[in-house]
Structure 1
Amino acid sequence: MTPGGGSGPMKDCEYSQISTHSSSSPMESPHKKKKSVPKRKWEVFPGRNKFFCNGRIMMARQTGVFYLTLVLILVTSGLFFAFDCPYLSEKITPAIPAIGGILFFFVMGTLLRTSFSDPGVLPRATPDEAADLERQIGNTEDIANGCSSGGYRPPPRTKEVIINGQTVKLKYCFTCKIFRPPRASHCSLCDNCVERFDHHCPWVGNCVGKRNYRFFYMFILSLSFLTVFIFAFVITHVILRSQQTGFLNALKDSPASVLEAVVCFFSVWSIVGLSGFHTYLISSNQTTNEDIKGSWSNKRGKENYNPYSYGNIFTNCCAALCGPLSPSLIDRRGFIQPDTPQLAGPSNGITMYGATQSQSNMAAATPLLQSEPSITSEELPLPGKTSLSGPCATLTLGQPTPPSSMPNLTSDSGLTDIIPLKEEHEGHQFLTPEEAPSPPGLLPSGSPIAHSRTMHVLSLASQDSLHEDSVRGLVKLSSV
C-alpha cells in the first residue's frame, strides 16, 4: 500500500491479536495456597494413647507394667527351654518342648493382639454434632425445668432404651459429647469411651473392650496352661535329678529351675483365678464393669435380669468368642481431609467464582479491560457538545457497533486544541485515533484509512483531513 499524495511519511500502526488463553488478568488468577501434607487421624487423636508403626499399633500411655509382663514371660519360658527341656526330652519324651513351644507362641500372639489393637473406642462428636446435641438437650431441659441459669452444669443426662424387656439408661459423656451406647463406659486412664467396656488392664497396657476381649480371655487362659505346664515339669526335673544325685546337688546342677518354680508358684494362683472369673463372666454374658457394679442378675425371676444373656452357657460363650469381630470406628490410619482452598476475590469486589469460559474469553477479548485505560468524555472535552452520556463502552474486534448519532463539528479552533492531545499525555496510555481500530463500513469511501485485520496503514494526505478524521474517530469511540 503506497502513501497517499506523497506528502507525508508512511506510518505503520500494528495491532497484535489478543490471545484469550495466554493472557490472564489478576481477576482470573485465584490465589493458590501451598499444598500441605495430609495428616493421619492418629496424629491428632484426642485420647491419651500411644501409636506406633504409623498408627497400626495402639496402646495406652502407661505401658510400664506391660513391659514387666513381657519380661516375666520371656525370661521364665527362656530358662525353661534352655535348662529343663533338654533333660526332660531325653529322660521322658521330646513332646514336652514341642508342647511348651506351642503354648508359648500362643500366649505371645494373644498378648500382643490384645495390647496392640483398638479395644473398641467410640469416636467423639464433631463440633457440629456436639452443638446440635447440646441444642436438643437444652431445649428439652428448658421445657422440663424452665430456663436454666448461665454457667450451670446440669446433672448427668440420661436416655432410656428398652432391651429385651429391660430398661437401660444411656449416659451422656461430657468429654466425648455423645450418649454412650449400652454397656459402654469412659476409661479415665485412656480418656476414651470404649464399647462394651470390661476394664483397663495395666498388665496388657490397654483397655479391654468389645474388639479385644476374646484375645484377652484366650491370653489369660493360655497363660494359665503355660504357667501350670512349666511349674509341673520344673518340679519333675528337680525330682528326677534328686533321685540320682540328691536334692541339694540337683538344685546346684540346675539353679534356673529354682527361679522358674518360684515365679510360677506365685503367679499361677492369680492367673488361674483370673481365668476362672472371666470364664464365669463369659458364660453369663457379663462384663467386669457390670459385675462389680451389680447391674444384672442371672436369675430370670428378678427385675434386674441380664437382658444381654441368651439363657444358655454354650450360646453365651459362642457369642463372646466366636462372633464376628466388628471393625474399628476411629479409622486411626485414615487421612484428615484438608481444608478447601479459598479463592481470593479481586480487589474491585467482583467475584470470579464459577466464571464460565465464555466470560473469560469475553474479558480477554475486550481491549479496554487490558492495561490501557478507557477514554471518557471527561478526559476529552469536545467543542460543540457540552457532555457525553457516559464512559466509552468496550470495543470488540470484528464486531463493530455503529454510532447512534454523529454530532456536527464545525469549529476549527476545537480541532487544533485536540491535536496535541497525545503529546501532552505521553506519560499516560490513552488511545489515540492512530492506535484505535476503525470499524469497517462506517467511513466514507474516499477515506484515507483502510481497514485490515492485523495491519492498519495511515496515509497523511493533508493536515485538515487528519484533523477531521481524528475527531471523527474519537466521537465514534465515545458514542459506542
Structure 2
Amino acid sequence: MTPGSGEGGPMKDCEYSQISTHSSSSPMESPHKKKTALKRKWKVFPGRNKFFCNGRIMMARQTGVFYLTLVLILVTSGLFFAFDCPYLSVQITPAIPAVGAILFLFVMGTLLRTSFSDPGVLPRATPDEAADLERQIGNIEEIANGSSSGGYRPPPRTKEVVINGQTVKLKYCFTCKIFRPPRASHCSLCDNCVERFDHHCPWVGNCVGKRNYRFFYMFILSLSFLTVFIFAFVITHVIHRSQQTGFLNALKDSPASVLEAVVCFFSVWSIVGLSGFHTYLISSNQTTNEDIKGSWSNKRGKENFNPYSHGNIFTNCCSALCGPLSPSLIDRRGFIQPDTPQPTAPSNGITMYGATQFQSNMGTEVRLTRW
C-alpha cells in the first residue's frame, strides 16, 4: 500500500493542497485589494468644503460671490488695458500700462492664493480621542453633580490658559470634539474650526485664518492701489481727450472709460476702508472676530488687555505678515489607511485638537483650572 492510499490519505492530501493553495495566493491578492481601497482624505473630508485638482485647491462650498469678484476685476482691468492704456502710453508715458500690469498680476496672485488654500483648519478628533475626552468630561461632571444639590448645573465645557498674564478660555467644540486653541473659532458656513479665525469672506470664497490672512491683507491692499490707479488714469484719459475733441466726443470715443469710472468710484470706498480697518487690526495684533466681540482693550493697563500684542506697531505687523507660514494640519491629499489603528488621546489633561498639541511662542502658561 502506497503512502496516502489508505483510508483518509487522499482526503488529507486534498485538504493540505487546498489550504496551501489558498494561503499562497492570498499574499498576491491582498496588496492589490489594499491598493484599490485607498482613498484621498479630501474625498471624505467632514467639513463643508469643495476640493479641486485632487485636493490641492480647497474652497468654501458657496463660491458664487468669489466668481463675481473675479469678473469685476478681470472686466474692469481688461477694459482699462484695451481702451485706455493704448492712448495713455502714447500721449503720456508707457510706464502706465506697465505699472497697471504689475498691480493686476499681484492682485490676482494674492486673490487666488487666499481663495485656494487651507485657511488653518483644525483636524477633528478621532473617534478614540473624542471618546476619551468625553469620558474625562463625564467623570468630572459626575463628581460635580454628586457633591452638590439637585438643582446644580454642571460648569460649561471650557478650559483656561494664561497667555502673557491674561486668562483665556478655551471652548469645547461639539462638532469637532476638541477644545479649540486660543483665537480659534468654528465657521458655521464651512463647518470647520479654523486656527486664528478672522472671518469668513464670501468675496474670496474661503475662510480667512492663520494660514491665508497675510495673503488676504495683501490682496485688499493691492486691490485698493489698483482701483485708485485705474480710476485716476481713466479720469486723466477722459480729461486729456476732452481738451482735444470736447467732453461729449471724448465719451463717445471711449465709452468703456465711463463703465470703468463708475465701477471704480462705487467700489473704491469699501475697498480702501476695508484695507484701513485691517491695517488697524494688524497694528494691534487683533482679528476681526476679536474686534467685533470687543475681546480686548488696546490699553495695556486695562484688565482685558490684548495678550497677543507685542506692544509695538512694527513688531505686530512683522508678526502678522513676515513670520513663517504654518503647515497645514489636515493632510487633505494624504491616503486613508483603513488598517491603521486610530491614535488615542492622552489622558494627562493637555489640551489637544486632533493629533496636534497647542504650541505658542508667546510665553504661554497652561493652567487647567476647570472645565
TM-score of the pair, normalised by structure 2: 0.82
- CA pair 3-317 structure 1, distance change in 2 beyond 3 A: closer
Provide, for residues 9-46 of structure 1, a one-character-per-residue CA deviation record: whole Å limited to 9, x for no partner. 99999999999999999999999989524x00000000
Q: CA deviation at 1:273?
A: 0.1
Q: CA deviation at 1:145?
A: 2.4
CA distance in 2, matches of 1:165, 1:291: 20
Q: CA deviation at 1:272?
A: 0.1
Residues paired across the two proteins, number: 366
Q: CA deviation at 1:341?
A: 12
- CA pair 76-131 structure 1, distance change in 2 beyond 3 A: same
Q: CA deviation at 1:338?
A: 2.4
CA distance in 2, matches of 1:305, 1:476: 19
- CA pair 244-177 structure 1, distance change in 2 beyond 3 A: same
- CA pair 72-14 structure 1, distance change in 2 beyond 3 A: closer
User: Which residue matches 1:446?
Assistant: none
Provide, for residues 103-159 of structure 1, a one-character-per-residue CA deviation record: whole Å limited to 9, x for no partner. 000000000000000000000000100010001111111112229999999664110
1:198–1:209 contact (8 Å) kept in structure 2 = yes
SS at match of 2:161: strand
- CA pair 171-86 structure 1, distance change in 2 beyond 3 A: same
1:30–1:343 contact (8 Å) kept in structure 2 = no
Q: CA deviation at 1:170?
A: 0.3
1:30–1:344 contact (8 Å) kept in structure 2 = no
2:124–2:354 contact (8 Å) kept in structure 1 = no
Q: CA deviation at 1:301?
A: 1.2
1:110–1:219 contact (8 Å) kept in structure 2 = yes
| Higher alpha-carbon deviation: 5-14 or 244-253 | 5-14
2:132–2:347 contact (8 Å) kept in structure 1 = no
1:27–1:346 contact (8 Å) kept in structure 2 = no
- CA pair 232-148 structure 1, distance change in 2 beyond 3 A: farther
- CA pair 339-152 structure 1, distance change in 2 beyond 3 A: farther
CA distance in 2, matches of 1:275, 1:330: 30
Q: CA deviation at 1:342?
A: 17
- Displaced runs of 4+ in structure 1, greater than 2 A? 1-37, 145-156, 338-361, 475-480
TM-score of the pair, normalised by structure 1: 0.64
CA distance in 2, matches of 1:286, 1:477: 24
- CA pair 242-85 structure 1, distance change in 2 beyond 3 A: same
SS at match of 2:30: coil
- CA pair 141-17 structure 1, distance change in 2 beyond 3 A: closer
Tell me how large the CA RMSD over aligned residues is.
Answer: 13.9
2:179–2:352 contact (8 Å) kept in structure 1 = no
Provide, for residues 161-215 of structure 1, a one-character-per-residue CA deviation record: whole Å limited to 9, x for no partner. 1000000000000000000000000000000000000000000000000000000
Provide, for residues 376-410 of structure 1, a one-character-per-residue CA deviation record: whole Å limited to 9, x for no partner. xxxxxxxxxxxxxxxxxxxxxxxxxxxxxxxxxxx
2:221–2:275 contact (8 Å) kept in structure 1 = yes
- CA pair 226-136 structure 1, distance change in 2 beyond 3 A: same
User: Which residue matches 1:478?
Assistant: 369
- CA pair 10-165 structure 1, distance change in 2 beyond 3 A: closer
| Higher alpha-carbon deviation: 41-50 or 147-156 | 147-156
SS at match of 2:210: coil
- CA pair 127-231 structure 1, distance change in 2 beyond 3 A: same
CA distance in 2, matches of 1:193, 1:358: 14
CA distance in 2, matches of 1:476, 1:310: 22
- CA pair 243-81 structure 1, distance change in 2 beyond 3 A: same
- CA pair 177-74 structure 1, distance change in 2 beyond 3 A: same
- CA pair 81-173 structure 1, distance change in 2 beyond 3 A: same
Q: CA deviation at 1:335?
A: 0.3
- CA pair 12-350 structure 1, distance change in 2 beyond 3 A: farther
| Higher alpha-carbon deviation: 9-18 or 272-281 | 9-18
- CA pair 40-151 structure 1, distance change in 2 beyond 3 A: farther
SS at match of 1:159: strand
- CA pair 249-331 structure 1, distance change in 2 beyond 3 A: same
SS at match of 1:308: coil
- CA pair 14-169 structure 1, distance change in 2 beyond 3 A: closer
CA distance in 2, matches of 1:2, 1:127: 60
SS at match of 1:274: helix
1:60–1:190 contact (8 Å) kept in structure 2 = yes
Provide, for residues 301-337 of structure 1, a one-character-per-residue CA deviation record: whole Å limited to 9, x for no partner. 1000100000000000000000000000000000000
- CA pair 132-75 structure 1, distance change in 2 beyond 3 A: same
CA distance in 2, matches of 1:477, 1:104: 49
In structure 2, the gaps of 5 or more residues are none
Work out which of the two has the higher radius of gyration on C-alpha atoms and give 1 or 2. Answer: 1
CA distance in 1, matches of 2:342, 2:247: 83
- CA pair 265-150 structure 1, distance change in 2 beyond 3 A: farther
Quick one: higher RCO (CA 8 Å, sep 6+), 1 or 2? 2
2:126–2:343 contact (8 Å) kept in structure 1 = no
CA distance in 2, matches of 1:315, 1:58: 31
